[in-house]
Amino acid sequence: MDNPSKITEGGVEYALGNFDGKSILYDFPKILIYLNAKGKLLFGDKFKIYDQDEAIVLKLCNYFVRDKENCKKNGIDPEKGILLSGPVGCGKTSLMKLLRHIVPLQRPYEMIPCRNVTFSFNHLGFKTVEEYGNTKFYCFDDLGVEPAGRFYGKDLNVMGEVLLSRYELFVQTKGKVKTHATTNLNAEELEERYGNRVRSRMRELFNLVAFDKGAEDKRK
């Protein structure tokens, strides 16, 4: 890739900014044009980034392109993962699926629905927790609404355990192993669901980026 500021999709070249041979000076309006085009390819023609969501998208773009100055202004630590919260249908999952495409040279993360993690635990037991405690990058989708885990009569808050493993990994690798998540729950609800210990680890693991409580349901 000669010019990492350019991405080709469906035969069209998109410039995300200017490349001076060392680094890319990103241009947010150009990134938006690309994201709208890529979003349509991924999710269908109805996809668009809404004006009222641009501030959140900008924050997330700054994080993904590692714009240290703007991250600092927004209180975002580029070494931590992202916990994207907001009401049902506001577009969290689509954004997390989409934004990894603006940095094709960075290591991608897998999107994993939290309920799949629990179902896997119910079949395979603790092996599941070990598997997700590995060095892959993940974005756990829909955190907090997954069913409770149960394996041979033992109940387990599976995602709570997975997050604790991911935190250990984050500490061991000095922040090199990234974990992201999306959730419809607020901080109090998350604490209620996972307990105080997991909640405090989550603060160290994630930057919280939140949609407005009144964000509209895009699926209607």
Q: What is the pLDDT of residue 168?
A: 95
Give dist(CA 219, CA 146) in Å, integer.
21
**Per-residue pLDDT band at 2 (split at 50, 70, 90):** low
User: Per the structure block, which two tokens stand in for 7?
Assistant: 């991405």
Q: What is the pLDDT of residue 164?
A: 95
Q: What is the pLDDT of residue 79?
A: 95
Q: For the residues 198-218, what does the mean pLDDT come to?
A: 88
User: Per the structure block, which two tokens stand in for 8?
Assistant: 């080709």
pLDDT digits (tens, 9 = 90+) for 23-71: 888 999 999 999 999 999 999 999 999 999 999 999 999 999 999 999 9
DSSP 123-177: HHTTHHHHHHTSSS-EEEEEET-SPPEEETTEEE-HHHHHHHHHHHHHHHTTT-S
User: Per the structure block, which two tokens stand in for 195?
Assistant: 């307990």
> Has this prediction a pTM greater than 0.85?
yes
Query: What are the structural domains of the chain?
Result: 79-210 (3.40.50.300)
Alpha helices by DSSP H, listed for the chain, are: 28-43, 54-64, 68-73, 92-99, 114-124, 127-132, 158-172, 187-205
pLDDT digits (tens, 9 = 90+) for 154-170: 888 999 999 999 999 99
User: Per the structure block, which two tokens stand in for 129?
Assistant: 């927790």
By three-state DSSP, how is residue 93 classified?
helix
Indicate if the pLDDT at residue 1 is higher than 70. Answer: no
